[in-house]
Amino acid sequence: MKILFISFIFPLLWVNNQPIKQEKLPAAIQFNITHLLNARPVTILNNNKLVTWSKGIDGNGIGDGYLTRSAALFNGNKDPHALPDDPLFPANDSHPEIKLHYSNKDSINNQACAVLGEGQVEFSVPSAKYKAIYLALTSAEGASTLQIHFEYADGEENKDFVLPDYYLDIKPGDPNLCYLAHDLAKWGNKNNMTEKDHHNIDLLNIHPDPARKLKSIKISKSKPGYLVFWAATGVKA
C-alpha cells in the first residue's frame, strides 16, 4: 500500500515543480521619426546642470514643459510627478515597449514633434503587416482631431480619431487610448512647478489592417489643439 501511494504522488510532485513558462510579449518595432523632431519639451539634468525645455507641451509651445525625475529632484521638487530618467517605457498589459527621444545625456537634439494649428507629418515604417501601432501624443488647448492615412503596398486607408486634452483622464474601456505616462506635473520656463499632477502622455492605437503590408503613415491635424508627437511603435501581425 505504501509503494502504491508513493508511486501515485511522485508524478504530481514532478509536474508541480516544473518551471512555469512565461508568456513572451510580442517584440515592438520603434519607428524612426527623427526627421520630424522639432521641439525640446523636456527639461533634463545634464552634467549636474538643468537644460530647460524649449517649445513645450502647451501654450503653443511657450507655456509649460515636462522634466525628468533627476531634473525635478535637482530642482528641489519633493515627490515629483516627473518623467522617468530612462526614456524606454517597458511593455505592460496596455501597450508594448516604447522609447521616447529625450535623454539626460543629450542637451542638444530635439525630443519630439510639435504641430501648431493645422498641419501634417509623415513617416515610413519597415514594410510589414502590423496588428497594432501606437502613437505617443499629447494635445493641449483642447482636443486634437486627427486623420491617419495608411499607405499600404496594395492601396490606402484613412481613419479618424479625436485625441483628448492631455489634462483629461482616458475613459475606461476606450479601445483606442491608454496611458504611456500618467499624472505628470508640468513646469514653467524657469523650471518652476506650475501644476503638480494630472497631466498625461497618451498612446493612440491606430489599428492598421493586419492583413495588408504597411509602408508609411501620415498624421493630419485640424486647426484646434496643440499637438506634440513623441514616438511611434508597432507590433507585427
**CA 131 – CA 147 distance, rounded (Å):** 19
Cβ contact 115:33 at 8 Å: no
Residue type, 3: I
Write down the mean pLDDT value for the chain: 91
Cβ contact 225:143 at 8 Å: yes
What pLDDT is recorded for position 145? 98
For the stretch 72-75, contacts whose Cβ atoms lie closer than 8 Å and that sit 24 or more positions apart, written own/partner, are 72/185, 72/187, 74/45, 74/48, 74/50, 75/50, 75/187, 75/191
Query: Does the structure show a pLDDT above 60 at 14?
Result: no
3-state SS, residue 3: helix
Q: What is the pLDDT of residues 140-191, one digit of tens each?
A: 999 999 999 999 999 999 999 999 999 999 999 999 999 999 999 999 998 8
What pLDDT is recorded for position 187? 94
- Range with lowest mean pLDDT among 5-14, 82-91, 183-192, 209-218: 5-14
Q: What is the pLDDT of residues 58-117, one digit of tens each?
A: 999 999 999 999 999 999 988 899 999 999 999 999 999 999 999 999 999 999 999 999
Residue type, 120: Q
Mean pLDDT for the stretch of residues 30-34: 98
Query: Does the structure show a pLDDT above 80 at 122?
Result: yes
Alpha-carbon dihedral sign for residues 81, 85, 91, 96: positive
What pLDDT is recorded for position 27? 82
3-state SS, residue 182: strand
Instruction: State how far the alpha carbon of 53 is from the alpha carbons of 14, 68, 209, in Å.
Output: 58, 11, 37
Query: Which residue in 120, 141, 146, 143 sits closest to 57, CA to CA?
Result: 141
3-state SS, residue 106: coil
* Domains identified in the chain and CATH numbers: 25-236 (2.60.120)
Q: For residue 20, name the pLDDT band (cuts at 50, 70, 90).
A: very low
- What's this model's pTM, rounded to 2 decimal places? 0.89
Mean pLDDT for the stretch of residues 28-47: 98
